């Protein structure tokens, strides 16, 4: 029996804030309180005066070693998990992205091999990147034989991994019958493709036109249609990386209606604005992500949505590519720039600094957005995302007095640039080392 006692800290969960000690035995929380009785012999004491104790972060949206024509995203499962731990995240969810026509189970087996190097626990969402009548049976096998109960569909990226609305409806019907959840990338792929072709034909090829080819209404229109499908199918539906104010209003109304709908956003949409696309090359290349970074009104609408519960989860969509050698292949044609940026290392510190310390959200909302809500949505709670007795002791100490400045030169993420370069942050998140089960 191996035990750890964390003393004199402040426990922050999604339900309460308490000045209590916490006892961990063999990797599980046994009890919380003051002057806990019956401590095992040789208990390791961790002093946490002045620190917060929170559940380990859960990031349900990362893309480690994502294959693209420009090469894989910079972080594989080993470096990505190291970066996650450095930022207080102890559990990630990545994706299986089958090639067109590839069997889901075959793609899942390959992806699991790639994920073996992860230093933290993980789960995978199965991407539905193509559709025929065999897909529902493949989804059933994922759920019943492989323990995969979440599926991802893309409405953008027509011609590669995007699917059509009538196909998505069939996926959602199948998922509903399996009590699975469907994650959806909501952007109107046809609108985007048309605008891309028009801009390139007119010689408008800089990163600015990446943003202009994917306007907020392209997202909002897709969100509205997906909500209609959620209502029609009864499928639990999770809108990823929401960025537009109009989208949020549709989601807010759908939640008030009682639909089984969840909403995710990311730090880049909370903290940056569309002016980044007007930076000169090559600096603007690193901000090419989808959906693109929006205007200030959208940003403020997102903060309001965090406070009122419209947004359930702040994830990262972590998918960085090097500026030199990857992103710059599209310096003369924005459609060739691999989409994505890093963030798994910075998520908690950014949301704490610019959310909690700026009085935009409370500490309890912080825990909900970074851990507890994702655990509940994806069937991990109370095993994860909790400080309850019996939960796995994935705990993080938050030192509120620590300050630093984000830089690609001193981080764990494996990329030559960082979209948060130069941003001051407060708070250091240290994963508590406890004996594993």
Kindly report, residue by residue over 202-243, the tens digit of the pLDDT.
999 999 999 999 999 999 999 999 999 999 999 999 999 999
Calculate the CA dihedral of residues 83, 85, 91, 96 and round it to 10 degrees: 20
Cα separation of 229 and 231, whole Å? 5
Bridge partners, residue 431, by sequence = 396
For residue 409, what are its two tokens?
A: 């030169």
Distance from the Cα of residue 168 to its chain's centroid: 22
Indicate whether 1 pLDDT > 90. no
Indicate whether 41 pLDDT > 90. no
Average pLDDT, the chain: 97
Indicate whether 434 pLDDT > 80. no
Q: What pLDDT is attached to residue 2?
A: 86
Mean pLDDT of the 267-285 span = 97
Q: Which residues lie below 8 Å from residue 224, measured CB to CB, with a gap of 6+?
A: 250
The pLDDT confidence band at residue 433, using thresholds 50, 70 and 90, is confident
Kindly report, residue by residue over 300-325, the tens digit of the pLDDT.
999 999 999 999 999 999 999 999 99
What ranges do the domains of the chain cover? 67-377
Q: Is the pTM of this model over 0.95?
A: yes
**DSSP string computed for 64-133:** TT---TT-S-S--HHHHHHHHHHTTEEEEEEEE-PPTT--HHHHHHHHHHHGGG-SS-EEEEEEE-S--T
Write the Ramachandran bin of 71: left for phi over 0, alpha for psi from -120 to 50, otherwise beta: left
CA dist 150 → 58, 146, 183, 219 (Å): 15, 11, 7, 22
Q: Does domain 67-377 have CATH number 3.20.20.140?
A: yes
For residue 390, what are its two tokens?
A: 């019996």
Bridge partners, residue 128, by sequence = 153
- CA-nearest of 114, 87, 90 to 413 is 87
């Amino acid at each position: 029996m191996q035990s750890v006692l964390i003393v004199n800290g402040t426990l922050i969960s999604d339900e309460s804030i308490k000045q209590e000690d916490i006892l961990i035995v063999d990797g599980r929380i046994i009890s919380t309180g003051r002057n806990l009785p019956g401590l095992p012999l040789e208990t390791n004491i961790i002093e946490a005066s002045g620190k917060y104790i929170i559940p380990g972060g859960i990031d349900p949206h990362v893309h480690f070693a994502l294959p693209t024509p420009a090469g894989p995203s910079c972080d594989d499962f080993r470096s990505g998990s190291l970066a996650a731990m450095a930022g207080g995240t102890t559990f990630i969810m990545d994706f299986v992205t089958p090639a067109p026509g590839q069997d889901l189970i075959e793609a899942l087996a390959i992806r699991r091999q790639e994920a073996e190097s992860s230093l933290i626990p993980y789960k995978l969402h199965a991407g539905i990147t193509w559709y025929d009548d065999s897909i529902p049976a493949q989804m059933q096998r994922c759920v019943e034989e492989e323990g995969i109960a979440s599926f991802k569909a893309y409405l953008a990226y027509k011609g590669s991994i995007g699917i059509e609305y009538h196909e998505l409806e069939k996926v959602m019907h199948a998922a509903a019958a399996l009590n699975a959840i469907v994650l959806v990338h909501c952007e109107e792929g046809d609108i985007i493709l048309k605008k891309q072709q028009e801009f390139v034909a007119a010689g408008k090829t800089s990163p600015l036109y990446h943003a202009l080819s994917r306007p907020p209404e392209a997202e909002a229109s897709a969100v509205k249609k997906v909500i209609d499908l959620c209502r029609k199918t009864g499928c639990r539906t999770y809108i990823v990386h929401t960025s537009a104010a109009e989208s949020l209003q549709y989601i807010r109304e759908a939640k008030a209606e009682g639909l089984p709908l969840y909403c995710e956003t990311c730090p880049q949409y909370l903290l940056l604005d569309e002016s980044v696309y007007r930076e000169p090359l090559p600096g603007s290349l690193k901000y090419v992500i989808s959906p693109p970074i929006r205007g200030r009104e959208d940003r403020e609408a997102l903060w309001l949505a965090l406070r009122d519960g419209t947004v359930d989860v702040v994830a990262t969509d972590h998918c960085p590519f090097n500026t030199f050698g990857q992103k710059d292949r599209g310096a003369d044609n924005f459609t060739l720039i691999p989409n994505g940026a890093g963030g798994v290392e910075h998520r908690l510190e950014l949301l704490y600094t610019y959310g909690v310390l700026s009085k935009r959200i409370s500490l309890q909302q912080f825990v909900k957005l970074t851990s507890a809500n994702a655990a509940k949505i994806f069937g991990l709670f109370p095993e994860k995302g909790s400080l309850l007795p019996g939960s796995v002791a994935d705990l993080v100490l938050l030192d509120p007095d620590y300050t630093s400045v984000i830089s690609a030169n001193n981080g764990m993420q494996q990329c030559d640039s960082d979209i948060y370069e130069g941003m001051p942050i407060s708070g250091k998140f240290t994963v508590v080392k406890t004996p594993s089960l």
